[in-house]
Chain A
Amino acid sequence: MVQARKLVYEYEKRDDEGNVIGMNRAVDGIDIDIRQGQFAAILGHNGSGKSTLAKHMNAILVPTGGTMWVNGRDTKDPRELMHVRQSAGMVFQNPDNQIIGTVVEEDVGFGPENLGVPTDEIWKRVEDSLRAVGMLEYRTHSPNKLSGGQKQRVAIAGVIAMEPRCIVLDEPTAMLDPNGRKEVIRTVQELRKRRNVTVILITHYMEEVIDADQVYVMDSGHIVMKGTPREIFSQVEELKKYRLDVPQVTMLAEELRRRGISLPRGILRREELVDAVDRYACMLKENQS
């Protein structure tokens, strides 16, 4: 679905007078392969290049080196631009700055309008998409009166209404409170299950990626780690090196292992940890008798 080979994005570094004093590489030789229907997560600290990479998936940026394909089309090709943007919809960080309409339903209709979808079909899609994110009852509300989580769900509906095969979410939860964060992640998960869309989630909240099929970790424009959440989060020290951390549960398991309690690596969920400790305690008791 989304594929990149030796992807490079360079931009000019300028001094105070605006003279070019060198080149910066925000993305530096990246290879990725995200298959249709996959849930892929990209982790990285601020300034690691993860947002730059995300913007390539929607052809907001085009590579200065290497190639990116979305749904088999080269994003560099201007003739494919609309196709690329339609097949990989994008949700951004700031909930206020991506809603265009002054009424919820009009905003969701904005994408289909641009695609030239007939009026009846637009109404159908708007209703469908709002229902899918659980915002149908707010269709005639002003976006200004919604909570952050609700605004992001409207933004997701706006993308869904374009019937993309892939949704790229660029730190969609960074400006939300914990409830809003849960709301958005839950919505994304449901969409994935019901509609088989590919989800690419860019975030620095570790808890949000534990259900991902594949996790990429970025640092200074490179992909430095790649694997399942379990594989990634079992490398606590490595992650810290990249200014990231691990979910608190994983951290606690790691601390316990350091104290000589042999638990499996890469524990991600609360129940998992409780089970593991319980098993360990039972083993101790058995040894006693």
Chain B
Amino acid sequence: MSIRLEHINYIYSQGSAYEKHALKDVSLEIPQGQFVGIIGHTGSGKSTLIQHLNGLLIASSGALYYNGQNIYQDKYDMKSLRSQVGLVFQYPEHQLFEVDVFTDVCFGPKNQGLSKQECEIRAKEALELVGFPEKHYSQSPFELSGGQKRRAAIAGVLAMRPKVLVLDEPTAGLDPKGRDDILDQIAQLHGQTGMTVILVSHSMEDIARYVERIIVMNKGTKMLDGAPREVFSHYRELEQVGLAAPQVTYIMHGLKERGIDVRTDATTVEEAAEEISGTLHFLRGHR
């Protein structure tokens, strides 16, 4: 159970004046159950990349294997792929259309051809997974707050019971609390279901706290791929391409330059606090 990309190239509007090489020889493998972050700024190819994962975009060359099967071979069931690889777009609340939240969440399973009863079971399960309060089930999606709308929209994809959940900038436009709430919910969901979760973001701080692996995209190529601390150790290179490591990375390096002997690979505030206070207490202990 995995997604494997082999030498994927994607060229927009091939042969026209607007031709653009959006993905260049991208190869990677994501095993089932991993929590992955994809980072890159606008135009880096990250959105193009994730649209390949469920076959919305077809590579110009290269191969994509889902569970060992090449999805580009003849008669591959794209519809079933799309229900197994759930894709939540940026500002997903903009696709809500039904009269109430519950019916909207049922849209996905209904398209899968499930019975009304089964649809409802799945919708309920999905809404619970994203922590959507039951009292709002029959409310119009257009009357909800920003955070609730987004939850409803994510539930709409989860209701298809995907094995892989891809989220494009799930926190865009939310306030700090809303941001943390959604990310916590996604992390919890990952823990509960064992789904593969692929989180696309441009915030290093957000991603560092949650994911076990970071893929950095730049100008259509895979620039870095590894555990957060490994990726952030290349913070100078990240800076050169207009991305920045989390604030704490800079602080740890700053301290190191001043001769305070801290390890520089902390990626979150807690890790950094632990490391700095440990080092300082060690100094004090030598008294």
Contacts and interface: CB of A to CB of B under 8 A. Distances in A.
B277 A281 contact: no
Contacts of B180: 245
Interface string A47-85: 100000000000000000000000000000000000000
A259 interface: yes
A252 B205 CA distance: 13
Contacts of A273: 251
Interface in B253-270: 254-255, 258, 260, 269-270
A56 to B, nearest CB: 21
Interface string A107-123: 00000000000000000
B42 A180 contact: yes
Contacts of A261: 276-277, 280
Majority SS at the chain A contact face? helix
B269 A206 contact: no
B180 to A, nearest CB: 8
B203 interface: yes
B41 A46 contact: no
A36 interface: no
Interface string A257-289: 011110000000011011001101100110110
Contacts of A277: 255, 260, 276, 280
B242 A179 contact: yes
A248 B269 contact: yes
B202 interface: yes
A178 interface: yes
B283 A147 contact: no
Contacts of A244: 175-177
Contact of A249 (B146, B175, B251, B260): B251
A251 interface: yes
Contact of B175 (A46, A247, A252): A46
A260 B277 contact: yes
Given A46-B174, A179-B41, A244-B177, A270 B250 contact: yes
Contacts of A247: 247
A256 B287 contact: no
A46 B145 contact: yes
Contacts of B175: 45-46, 204, 243-244
A287 B287 CA distance: 8
Given A148-B42, A277-B276, A278-B255, A178 B174 contact: no
A281 B248 CA distance: 18
A38 to B, nearest CB: 24
Nearest to A244: B176
Interface residues of B, number: 41
Interface in B9-39: none
A245 B176 contact: yes
Contact of A243 (B172, B176, B205, B242): B176
Given A273-B251, A281-B260, A177 B42 contact: yes
A281 B146 contact: no
What bracket does the count of chain A residues touching chain B fall in?
A: 35 or more
A271 B254 contact: yes
Given A271-B254, A284-B284, A256 B277 contact: yes
Nearest to B203: A178
Contacts of B154: none
Contacts of B260: 277-278, 281
B152 interface: no
Contacts of A245: 176-177, 180
Interface in A156-176: 174-175
Contacts of B146: 46-47
Interface string A233-253: 000000010011101110110
A147 B255 CA distance: 36
A232 to B, nearest CB: 14
A190 interface: no
Contacts of A288: 283, 286-287
Contacts of A287: 287
Nearest to B278: A259
Contact of B283 (A243, A249, A284): A284
Interface in A129-184: 147-148, 174-175, 177-180
A247 B281 CA distance: 25
A255 interface: yes
A172 to B, nearest CB: 13
Given A179-B41, A179-B242, A284-B284, A252 B176 contact: no
Interface of A: 45-47, 147-148, 174-175, 177-180, 204, 206, 240, 243-245, 247-249, 251-252, 255-256, 258-261, 270-271, 273-274, 277-278, 280-281, 284-285, 287-288
19 contacts: A46-B146, A177-B42, A178-B41, A204-B175, A243-B177, A244-B175, A244-B177, A245-B177, A247-B247, A248-B247, A249-B247, A252-B251, A255-B273, A260-B277, A261-B276, A271-B254, A277-B276, A281-B280, A285-B283
State the 6 A-B residue pairs at the shortest beta-carbon distance, nearest first.
A243-B177, A255-B273, A274-B254, A259-B277, A45-B175, A248-B247
